[in-house]
Amino acid sequence: MFSARWFKGIRGKLLLLVTIPFAVIAVLYYEAGQGISALQKSLNQANLVRGPSINYTGKMAKESESLQRYVLNAVTAKSEEDTHTEITKALGSIEAFDKAMEEYEKIPHGGATAAIFGDIIKLWSQAKPTAQVAVEKLRTGNKVQAHDVLENQYRPVATEMSKKLQELSDLRLKLMLDDSNTDAALIAQTEQIVDWVGVIGLVVSVAFSAWVIHNLNSQLSAAVNALSENSSNILHASKQLYATSEQVAEGSTESAASIEETVASLEEVNSMVKVNSESGQKAAQFAEEAVRQAERGQAEIEKLIHAMAEIEGSSKQIQDIIKMIDDIAFQTNILSLNATIEAARAGEQGRGFSAVAEAVRKLSQDSVAAAQNIADLIHKSSEKIQTGSRSAYESSQVFKDINHTIHKVAQMSQEVSQASNEQALGVDQINKAMNQLDTSTQVNSAASEEVAVSAQELSSQAVGLQNVVATLEQILDGRRHEVHSDAPVSLKKSLTLARPILVKAS
């Protein structure tokens, strides 16, 4: 996918344009190499198989004929020395024939040549012993028997073997001729392929070159038109950006002044909020102290109520005791009356007892009166104690209400203090944010100046881009369009629009 996109560009097309001739050369080199390789293989076959096979076949035929000649020369020789010389030559021919046959066996062969060579091996296995017998006869001086062995045993086999050797030689020559024809056809085919590949490569190269040139011309023309249009748009946009940056710089200056005033007001509000927060904290402390005092007073009232309850219980016990005393005095009074009656009945003898009874009755009456007085006092005290208990209970309820109210006041004071702290924190954060905003406004003001400078530089670059476009048009068409542009106004005024404002963060 990446390679497909890459070849759509100019570099890819130029590279492809250069690659095609090299590809054609590579194909030509490959085809020529294939032909040369085949010819080299055929040459190796000729050097290693065809030539040696014909050579060794000729040697075997020559040595077979020479063997017959040497034996005949030995038979007809006049002296023993000549006979011995010819015998030595005959033995050399036998040895040379064996060596040629051995070398031929090393050569790769098959099919018809292998069958004929097999027949030659069989015939030589028959001819060689007869030749050796003839030579042995010559050594012993039996030339007639040697001649008879040569003519009747060796010559028929040798003649047949010579025919087989001739047949093998003819077959090898025919195979060599066939290989030569094949090599000639291969050379012709290689030349034809090279010619066709060269022609096709030339046609493809010319056609692709024309297409690439046309395509590059179209793309460059489209790019030049696009660059021309874009450079005009950039020049127009740079002018608008310059005007906008000046407006932003003026607005940033005004915003910085307003933010400075706002930060000063926030500092005053922050001071007031801090004072309120401190007052709220003190009020919360006083409320907490009042809560503690109210809780202490409520505890004392509860102790008083408990003591009044104990006193009321004791007064009830005293009333019961007085009631018991009253009952005892009443019983004593009755007993004293009974004693008086009994003393009256006793007459003179009971007179002293009657006086005692009278004294006891009087004492009981006094006890009853005293007990009644004490009961009245106890009753009044009990009523006062009950009244005091009710007052103490009511005071306790009042203290509970006061304590509850003080708790609410303390809670509200705490909430007010916490709210004041949070408000102070919020105001402080707002103050910091305003300081940051003021810093950002100053940065924006400076950035506006830089944008204005960049807009002027962009306008200059746009003019330079239009000059590049004109140069490209001259390269493509041979004609150049003049470039006209209006430079933006000077930035000296805009450089003094925004002034730095320093705000002290509290």
With cut-offs at 50, 70 and 90, classify the pLDDT of residue 98: very high
Helices and strands of the chain, counted as H and E runs: 8, 0
The rounded radius of gyration (Å) of the Cα atoms in the chain is 75
pLDDT at residue 280 is higher than 90:
no
Q: Is residue 362 predicted with pLDDT exceeding 90?
A: no
pLDDT over 90 at 88, yes or no = yes
At 11, the pLDDT band (50, 70, 90 cuts) reads low
Place of tokens 């060689």: 128
Domains of the chain plus CATH, in order, are: 2-226 (1.20.120.1730)
CB 494 within 8 A of CB 251: no
The pLDDT of residue 490 is 46
* Mean pLDDT on 481-498: 49
Asked if 503 and 438 touch (Cβ cutoff 8 Å), the reply is yes
Question: Distance between alpha carbon 453 and the CA centroid of its chain, in Å?
Answer: 41
Per-residue pLDDT tens for 383-417?
888 788 778 788 778 778 877 887 887 788 778 77
Q: How far is CA 264 from CA 245, 272, 277, 434, 505, in A?
A: 29, 13, 20, 10, 10
pLDDT band at 56 (very low <50, low <70, confident <90, very high): confident
pLDDT at residue 120 greater than cutoff 70: yes
Place of tokens 């590279």: 15
Please report, for residues 315, 344, 392, the alpha-carbon distance to residue 303 in angstroms, rounded to integers and kept in the order given.
18, 61, 10
Task: Please provide the average confidence, as pLDDT, over all residues in the chain.
Answer: 78
| Alpha-carbon span 128 to 96, nearest angstrom | 12
- The pLDDT tens digits for 193-248 are 878 877 887 888 788 778 777 776 777 777 767 777 777 777 677 677 767 767 76
pLDDT value at position 199? 84
Question: Which residues, other chains included, contact 11 with Cβ-Cβ below 8 Å and sequence gap of 6+?
Answer: none
Query: What's the pLDDT at 481?
Result: 63
Q: What residue type is assigned to position 398 of the chain?
A: V
Say what the pTM is. Answer: 0.37
Distance CA 373, CA 370 (A): 5
Using an 8 Å Cβ cutoff, are 138 and 67 in contact?
A: no
Statement: residue 499 has pLDDT above 50: no
Task: Output the six-digit token pair for 224.
Answer: 């030049």
Other Cβ atoms closer than 10 A to 235: 21
* CA dist., res. 328 & res. 120, Å (int): 181
| pLDDT at position 29 | 73
Helix, strand, coil percentages, rounded to 5, for the chain? 90, 0, 10
